[in-house]
Structure 1
Amino acid sequence: MKKKLGAYLTNRKIMATALLALTLALSACGNSGEKANEGSADKETRDITIKIGYQKYGTINILKADGALDKRLSEERNIKIEWIEFPGGPQLLEALNVGSLDLGHTGEAPPIFAQAAGAPLVYLAHEPASPQSEGIIVPKGSPIKSVADLKGKTVVLNKGSNVHYLLVKQLEKAGVDYKDIEVKFLPPADARAAFEKGSVDAWVIWDPFLAAAQTATGGTILVDGTDVVSNHEFYLATRAFAEKYPDIVDILLEEADKIDVWSKDHPQELAEKLSPQLGIDVESLLLAAGRRNYGVQPIDEELIKAQQAIADTFFNLELIPKKLDINDAILK
């Protein structure tokens, strides 16, 4: 997979290099040629501000904390980044849908809901599957011992997030109808408060919130995503941005892959770097880091089929209003 990503980025670099060479050749023809080429692709990717959405944790969050992407874009293109934090993927993609963001990252379910809502998003790349990075957690001492025990109980989650699909698939595996539980939709902070107060029976959540709830409350993970869901992290952009600035997309993916390599080999340093920024203790972040896989990978047919299966599942459950074709959100 990394070889495919390398080939993908290399081809894009060759195109960008050829375009830059052509621009320089034309500019060498004289002042009149230089003025004629002021609208070149190179100049179009300078002196702009791009808006990148991120959540607590995930590779883009690590990129923000590291600062390498800011530095490279500033030095090479005089481009500034405006980083905007969101409590979850659905909220991030809602902002992308209304034009408040250019790029961002979410789990596997939010793009489905966003595409169904008409968001002009495209998939850029993804991280490897990390099924253990999300789960259904119950309070310490809970009588609930299996997913089947959730029947008739109240479960809280962030609507439209990756854990929404986890819940659907775990209920299906346990033979429990989705309609046989009461689902409440709350963002992570509010869901954590409800979980600690005991006003819900279970919480479906992802890391690092899952890890933080474990260490702080003594809650028990009923099940995670192992053998049920993949839990991919996706890099996404508006189609207009991806098509106009493919070179910026390439730089983002290159820097993301670099920081992934570092993160995999330095979990302690990663936890210490993120802890003050996220307001989450180092112990919890270390727990989360150990459950996550790293490495930027290209979108391929296997991933498209997997996303299509999620979209079809949500449509059959009437969670989205229309049947989707994931290929409509793929760059050609």
Structure 2
Amino acid sequence: MVNSLQEHPFSYKQKYHIDKKLAIAASFLGLLACSCSQQTATNVSAKSDTTSNTVSTKTTDKNNVIRLGYQKGGIIPLARQRGELERQLIAQNIKVEWIGPFDRCATLLSSLNGNRADIGGCGDIPSISGIAAGQPLCIGSVQRPRPNSLGNAILVRGNSPIQKPADLVGKKVAVNQGGAGEYLLLKVLEKENIPKEKVQRVYLSPNDAAPALYQGSVDAWAVWEPYISIAELEHKARRITTTHPAPTYGILIVRSDAAKENPVAVKVALTALSEDGEWLNQNTSAASDFLVKELKLSDAVAKQVTKNRGPESYVFPNGEDVANLQKTADWLLEQKIIPQKVDIAASVCPLGTTASR
């Protein structure tokens, strides 16, 4: 379940009242995945910084610590709620620190870059953009694309005359720069043979894009869950796209030095996240309950989000995954979304693991 990596010269001056539910529901790039074991750990609240609050299990041995950065929503905060990942890691003498919540992938990646977190969940587009920008990141595990997922969409107001992508010509569409929203819009335009120059991209964060759409400052919004379900069920927005023309990967992105210096702990954490994700796939009601608690969503919204996202399964990337991600990276370079070529094979974390199909 993907976001802007830099400021853009577009200045969005009008202030909006932001729906409380939207203010607490940050970008949703991956849902579900953690682990199982025994024993309960106690989390100690740590001092917060400008982008996050830190909850940690303190330790003096950095090689026995894994810092998991998270946005609101996604696999890592769900793992924190359920508690099995932490129990399993503690049983292996690995302490866990929870770093977050972050408002979007860009700030999460900045935390990894600044050595304040070791692992975080993002989409492939912002992850590749971060690597291209020279951030010291590597790809830990991936969630393969789900062609039938309804987790991304271009939305319009319920009373909008826009009915299909072709109607976007000459219109303003809110997207997050260098992230999943911009990628979705460009891929939809490409599929429909609409020159991208004929649609104006307005770079906004999700919390700014939502009121901009509802109040008419933009005509459409390219976004992901849980924003889609909130917009549809609570603000009468509607989608003009169904499935994604180029489904994306979810990525558990890792700070490069953590993967090199502490590969065992990183691998254990990634494996635990994957195992708990499989458990949650078999317990969708529990997944919805976690969303209600984490994002303060209504039951109806949480259930639709879970349904739209579909099953979640994180695995270590194999050769086919690397090739697919390389195609995405090359396309991003062609579109001038990233500044330089990214070698995906060289960007996979050196954890001594080859994934199975």
Same fold (TM > 0.5):
yes
Please state which structure has a larger fraction of its residues in helix.
1
Q: Which runs of 5+ in 2 are unaligned?
A: 1-58, 351-357
How far, CA to CA, are the matches of 2:263 and 2:63 in structure 1? 16
SS in 1 for 2:177: coil
Give the aligned residue type for 1:93.
L
Say if 2:118 and 2:255, in contact at 8 Å, map to a contact too.
yes
Query: CA offset at residue 56 of structure 1?
Result: 2.8
Query: CA offset at residue 146 of structure 1?
Result: 1.0
1:2-48 deviations in whole A, cap 9, x for unaligned?
xxxxxxxxxxxxxxxxxxxxxxxxxxxxxxxxxxxxxxxxx996685
1:1-332 pair list within 5 angstroms? 49-77=65-93, 79-130=95-146, 131-226=149-244, 228-291=245-308, 292-332=310-350
How far, CA to CA, are the matches of 2:113 and 2:195 in structure 1? 32
Say if 1:128 and 1:293, in contact at 8 Å, map to a contact too.
no
Say if 2:85 and 2:272, in contact at 8 Å, map to a contact too.
yes
Say if 2:70 and 2:98, in contact at 8 Å, map to a contact too.
no
SS in 2 for 1:323: coil
Query: CA offset at residue 119 of structure 1?
Result: 0.8
Give the aligned residue type for 2:257.
A
Q: Which sits farther off after the overlay, 97-106 or 202-211?
A: 97-106
1:60-119 deviations in whole A, cap 9, x for unaligned?
231122122223333432513132122222332122223232110111101121011101
SS in 1 for 2:67: strand
Alignment: residue pair count: 289
Query: CA offset at residue 232 of structure 1?
Result: 1.8
How far, CA to CA, are the matches of 1:96 and 1:305 in structure 2? 25
Query: CA offset at residue 308 of structure 1?
Result: 1.6
How far, CA to CA, are the matches of 1:274 and 1:132 in structure 2? 17
Considering only aligned residues, what root-mean-square deviation do their CA atoms show, in Å? Answer: 2.1
Say if 2:63 and 2:261, in contact at 8 Å, map to a contact too.
no
Say if 2:158 and 2:236, in contact at 8 Å, map to a contact too.
yes
Query: CA offset at residue 182 of structure 1?
Result: 1.4
Q: Which sits farther off after the overlay, 272-281 or 134-143?
A: 272-281
How far, CA to CA, are the matches of 2:137 and 2:168 in structure 1? 35
How far, CA to CA, are the matches of 2:112 and 2:270 in structure 1? 19
Give the aligned residue type for 1:207.
E
Give the aligned residue type for 2:289.
E
Query: CA offset at residue 270 of structure 1?
Result: 1.7
Say if 1:168 and 1:178, in contact at 8 Å, map to a contact too.
yes
**TM-score of the two chains, using structure 2 as the length reference:** 0.75
SS in 2 for 1:156: strand
Give the aligned residue type for 1:134.
N
Alignment partner, residue 21 of structure 2? none
SS in 1 for 2:272: helix
Query: CA offset at residue 293 of structure 1?
Result: 2.2
How far, CA to CA, are the matches of 1:310 and 1:185 in structure 2? 21
Would the alpha carbon gap of residues 51 and 169 (structure 1) be closer, same or farther in structure 2, given more than 3 Å must change?
Answer: same
Would the alpha carbon gap of residues 91 and 160 (structure 1) be closer, same or farther in structure 2, given more than 3 Å must change?
Answer: farther
How far, CA to CA, are the matches of 2:230 and 2:292 in structure 1? 11
How far, CA to CA, are the matches of 2:78 and 2:116 in structure 1? 21
Say if 2:66 and 2:266, in contact at 8 Å, map to a contact too.
no
Query: CA offset at residue 236 of structure 1?
Result: 1.0
How far, CA to CA, are the matches of 2:255 and 2:264 in structure 1? 15
Q: Which runs of 5+ in 1 are unaligned?
A: 1-42
